[in-house]
Structure 1
Amino acid sequence: MAVSDAGAKSGGGILGAIERVGNRLPDPATLFLIAIIILVVLSAILSAMGVSAIHPGTGKELVATNLLSADNIRRFLIELPTIFASFPPLAVVLLCVMGVGVAEKTGLIGVSLGALVRAVPKSMLTLIVVFAGVQSSMATDAGYVVLIPLAGMLFHSSGRHPIAGIAAAFAGVSGGFSSNLLVTSLDPLLGGISTAAARLVDPSYEVLATANWYLMAAFVPLFTIIGTLVTERLIEPRLVRTAPVASGLTITMDEPSAEQRANEKRGLRYAGLAILAIVGLFGVAVVPEGAILRDANGTIEPFLRGIVAVLFISFLLIGIAYGVGARIIRNDRDVVKMMSQSMSDMGGYIVLAFCCAVFIALFGWSNLGGILAVNGAAFLKDAGFTGLPLLIAIILVSALINILVGSASAKWAILGPVMVPMLMLLGITPEATQAAYRVGDSFTNPITPLLPYFPLILIMCQRYVPSFGIGSLLATMLPLAMWMGIGAVLLFSGWYMLELPLGPGAVIHMPTGS
């Protein structure tokens, strides 16, 4: 630990400056409180100045409203509980977390990742490590806490540089955080914020949890290939030259006992049967004509709109099946306890969600969001800065902000109410704006010293190379972050130019006449 502290204190140059500035930033909840105070003061000033704008869609005049007026103060006190309770992401995120939490608390996700990585041949080790890292965003902690140290041990036992394994897993877990073949709890979280922001322009607009599913799934093979090639061609050869592993070092993986191994195999078998049952059940409810999860027009929109409940039920049942098979769940009390622990882990998020809900509500009451969107859209349109160049600019801005503010939801809660309405008025859907933000919010994660798990990764590296410091880790991860960023921007640009759907029913451009 002393080595880690020394390395952390010796950072200099640009990276050291970023770290020092970032460390001085207050908690995200405090940032929202500051933003609310600024918003309230600004609304009073702009209202006194008579600032307004004409909504190009409805023709109505948007007038800056003073949030310090008696009417708005009374409204705030009366509606505060409703503002919080009706915040779109709150219920969906907590529901997802309850289901995923059982699968995580039983150890299912960690055991599955470990089994996947252990089972592959050495020639495919890097590829599977990166892939497993990207997929681990279903349960972030399992990726950081289980997969990354496991990857270092597997590389070391295979005669390869262990930090290369750590880097490959770290790139997948953090750089590919938004990407997944499945819909994760992040999707309804961001979709809820986007919905609230879109309703500043269209009160009936809804961004579904599946809004970016197709695009995010396409990033999985892209990041897997990039992570594999960069690790094997650039990262590992450099590490072999510059960071020799401590001589005589022996780090072995803790082998599970025969009983534990038998329990895990039984648990995985039970989980597999549960997956087959769930797929069959929802298959019958979705696929046949006239199935209960199809609407009157024969589309599967009810299934897509209910994807959050589907995720909750699926993860809950699979987690319970594994827990019963692995002898971790003995009775119903164990399940309730795991769900309760998952909720207690979300205490910080609930506080943040409250602050975010208040900020977005007041932003809407003030009309400043609409005025800023109208005037900003007009400025960008007159400057000719629209379409793909504008979306790429959002990617780059999000990537830079991500170095200082790690929370994806906190950043989007601040940026979304400005970006989403502005781009809607320029003909770009909230789903496309959200997708651009998610691209930028992911690939700089591996080079973000303020990432909560960054010190943990550093300590893992120092187990093999004691002199490995913050600069060493950043230098190791920079090529991975850079190439993942280049690949992500190119794929996003191709997606835009081909006008491919971002998710079921989610397109890039607003319908004509909207």
Structure 2
Amino acid sequence: MNEIENQKNKGFFGWIERVGNKLPDPVVLFMILAAIVIGVSGIAGATGLSVEYFDAEAGENLTVEAISLLSAEGLNHIFNSAVDNFTGFAPLGTVLVTMLGVGIAEWTGLIESTLKRLLSNVPAFLLSAAVVFAGIISNIASDVGYVVIIPLGALIFAGAGRHPLAGLAAAFAGVSGGFSANLLVGPTDALLVDIANAALTSAGIEYNITITANWYFMIVSTIVLTVVGALITDKFVEPRLGEYHGDYRPDFETLTKDELKGLRNALIVLVIYAIIMAVLMFPQGALFRSYDEAIGAESINDFLATGLLLAIFLLFALPGLAYGITVGKIKSSSDFVKGMTEAMSSMGNYIVLAFFAAQLIDYFNYTNLGTILAVSGADLLESVNLTGLPLILGFIGVSGFINLFIGSASAKWAILAPIFTPMLYNLNIAPEMTLVAYRIADSSTNVISPLLNYFPMILIFAQRYDKKAGIGTLVSTMLAYSMAFLVTWTILLIIWFLLGLSLGPGASITL
């Protein structure tokens, strides 16, 4: 074992990686975790484990009981829902459709040629910051960043002669760890604000949060997290990973005349496509705009949430086609199909992993164990009787821990908002402050949770560059980002709180 490997295996992060990588293959691990959930649900169901919480949407207290998967009904659910769990697994379609387009651009050589053209003499810090920043702002398009920015982050670093796993980690940190931050207001803001307002109304509180409630804070957060993410990448993650010795070796030779011509044609196609999409999306009354009740006006939020996936496919496929034809890589329709076929052949491991990951996540939701854990954690924090800033910090800690088990931001907030939004309001903490504290916690621990929907996909992407990469590799790499984001973001919130700054237009911290 060389000196770099010895250094990598030292310390707390090395221990995390060693222990994590000694776990069974991720597919087998998801099977084992599913079996554990089944067993725990049987015990919880037999003992009548339940919790009660206020549901803002229903306007009443609800009792949630643990549901056993070892009962007749539970066993029927396991067998009857397996196929639907798999085909309805949200990341599955998103990943495969996007990879069809990315596969064409990668197979024809467009991505590699583009990177060679763009990445010469780019300072390391600026490249890291650009990848993290691109990941953060990608959340305006919902989950697209997971399947576009993260694999591109690895390719960009590899193209610059750097460790691809460091690029993947930097992109993952931006996309998922910085999920709530952005320079623009997007669908996530509207969804969380709606839930918070419903919780306030149900508690009889006449207070309304606007969709821009956290905008100022999130703009500053975007800048801060970009810098922190770049520093973690350059000063900790990449040195720890050491020199890359994997199979992926980009070609650093000078571009040929045909390749340069191919890039020009791809750019022409890209510009034409961008103009067409802009006409369809941005003018008042455009085809892809619809009325958004959250802002009381037309917006493209619905398109961003549901229609953007096909647009992303075309964004890569059309320039890839133009480049492939120009350089002679695509000479017939069968060549075009071959590019997509090869992209899908590399996703075989992910499809297998997705099947078992989908079962585990469904079992956890079906048994209500996640909801019981969330409500119990909230009740515990409420019973401590903290006030002011300590209460906000406690709320961040509890929410961050719960986030390891419930990946959906809206699902957790639907449980926590009716409890904490009125409670903190009655302690003179503005609902906008409660919301921003939740968003910090919800984002920061995403990157270390194996129950995150996209975690299996990211592990497969990592294994494309390092076949030995396991859950321990990914968690130990991302733990530094999670800790740094959580601490830095919380400190930023404390400074904001102490200075009494506005979180957004007309949004205060205290009442």
TM-score by length of 2: 0.63
Could you tell me how far 1:281 is from its partner in structure 2?
Answer: 1.0
Deviations 1:281-307 (A, max 9, x none): 111112222211112452223322222
What is residue 365 of structure 2 aligned with on the other side? 364
Question: In structure 2, which of residues 36, 46, 50 is the aligned counterpart of residue 52 of structure 1?
Answer: 50
Work out whether residues 115 and 159 of structure 2, in 8 Å CA contact, stay in contact via their aligned partners in 1. Answer: no
Kept after mapping to 1: 8 A contact 2:349/2:460:
no
The one-letter amino acid paired with 1:295 is S
Q: Are residue 93 (structure 1) and residue 85 (structure 2) matched?
A: no
Secondary structure of the 2:174 match is: coil
Q: Distance in 2 between matches of 1:490 and 1:107?
A: 44
Whether contact under 8 Å (2:128, 2:167) holds in the other structure is yes
* 2:9 and 2:18 in contact (8 A); partners too: no
CA distance in 2, matches of 1:91, 1:41: 30
Aligned to 2:353: 352
| Alpha-carbon distance, 1:171 to partner | 5.3
Structure-2 separation of matches of 1:132 and 1:303: 26
What does 1:320-469 align with in structure 2 at a 5 Å threshold? 320-383=321-384, 384=386, 387=392, 389-391=394-396, 422-426=415-419, 436-440=441-445
How far apart are 1:81 and its partner, in Å?
Answer: 1.4
Report the equivalent of 1:110.
112
Shift in Å, 1:82: 1.7
2:266–2:322 contact (8 Å) kept in structure 1: yes
**Contact 1:270–1:322, Cα closer than 8 Å, also in 2:** yes
Aligned counterpart, 1:41: 39
Q: Distance in 1 between matches of 2:53 and 2:31?
A: 29
| Distance (whole Å) between structure 2 residues aligned to residue 454 and residue 82 of structure 1 | 27
CA distance in 1, matches of 2:416, 2:443: 16
Distance 1:494 1:307, change over 3 A: farther
**Which position in structure 2 is the counterpart of 1:81?**
83
* Counterpart among 23, 26, 49 of residue 25 in structure 1: 23
After superposition, the Cα gap between the structure-2 partners of 1:217 and 1:116, relative to the gap in structure 1 and judged at 3 Å, is farther
Structure 2 counterpart of 1:293, from 282, 288, 293: 288
Once the two structures are superposed, the pairs formed by residues 277-316 of structure 1 within 5 Å of their partners are 277-296=272-291, 297-305=297-305, 306-316=307-317
Q: Which residue identity does 2:338 align to in structure 1?
A: K
Task: Report the secondary structure of 1:53's partner residue.
Answer: strand
For residue 43 of structure 2, give the secondary structure of its aligned residue in structure 1: helix
Shift in Å at residue 19 of structure 1? Answer: 3.6
Change beyond 3 A, Cα 1:23–1:418: farther
> Matched residues in 1 for 2:18 and 2:71: separation?
40
Give the drift of 1:64. 2.0
- Give how far 1:67 is off: 1.3
Moved more, 279-288 or 136-145: 136-145
What amino acid is the match of 2:120? R
* 1:61 match: secondary structure: strand
Cα distance in 2 for partners of 1:176, 1:353 equals 21
Partner amino acid for 1:48?
A
Q: How many residues align?
A: 411
SS of residue in 1 equivalent to 2:24: coil
Deviation at 1:339, TM superposition (A): 1.5
Deviation of 1:416 (Å): 7.4
Match of 2:157 among 129, 134, 147: 147
| Letter of the structure 1 residue corresponding to residue 280 of structure 2 | A
Structure 1: distance between partners of 2:486 and 2:420: 26
Which AA in structure 2 matches 1:40?
A: I
Change (3 A) 1:412 1:145: farther
Q: What does residue 72 of structure 1 align with?
A: 74
Report the equivalent of 1:256. 253
Identity of paired residues, percent? 29
Check whether the contact 1:108–1:319 (CA below 8 A) recurs between aligned residues: yes
Partner SS for 2:18: helix
Alpha-carbon distance change, 139 to 112 in structure 1, aligned in 2, over 3 angstroms: farther
For each residue in 1:425-484, what CA deviation from the matched residue of structure 2 results, as whole angstroms up to 9, or x when unmatched? 54589998676454345699xxxxx99969979xxxxxxxxxxxxxxxx99x99999877
Q: 1:274 to 1:492 in 2, by over 3 A?
A: farther
| DSSP 3-state at the match of 2:119 | helix
Give the Å deviation of 1:116.
1.8
Flag the 1:148–1:215 CA change in 2: closer, same or farther, 3 A.
farther
Task: Tell me the CA shift for residue 61 of structure 1.
Answer: 2.3
Query: Gapped runs of 5+ residues in structure 1?
Result: 153-165, 203-211, 244-252, 399-410, 445-449, 458-473, 502-506, 510-514
Contact 2:447–2:482 (8 Å) recurs in 1: no
Give the corresponding residue for 1:402: none
Distance across 1 between alignment mates of 2:353 and 2:167:
27
**Matched position secondary structure for 1:56:** strand
Which letter maps to 2:378? Answer: A
2:170 is aligned to 175
Letter in 1 for 2:258: N
CA positional deviation for 1:25 = 1.7
Alpha-carbon distance, 1:229 to partner: 7.5
Residue 210 of structure 2: aligned partner: none
Which SS does the other structure have where 2:64 is aligned?
strand
Shift of 1:255: 5.5
Q: Map Cα deviations across residues 378-429 of structure 1 (whole Å, 9 max, x no partner).
A: 222223476455336666998xxxxxxxxxxxx6777979956653454589
CA contact (8 A) 1:320 1:335 kept: yes
Change (3 A) 1:228 1:373: closer
Whether the 8 Å contact between 2:104 and 2:340 is mirrored in structure 1 is yes
Read off the aligned partner of 2:313 and give its amino acid letter: F
Pair 312,17 (structure 1): closer, same or farther in 2 beyond 3 Å: same
1:271 maps to which of 266, 270, 288: 266
Distance 1:85 1:348, change over 3 A: same
Contact 2:128 2:170 in 1 (8 A): no
The alignment yields a C-alpha RMSD, in angstroms, of: 5.2
1:150 maps to a residue whose letter is A
Structure 2 SS opposite 1:50 = coil
Separation of aligned partners in 2, 1:103 and 1:214: 37
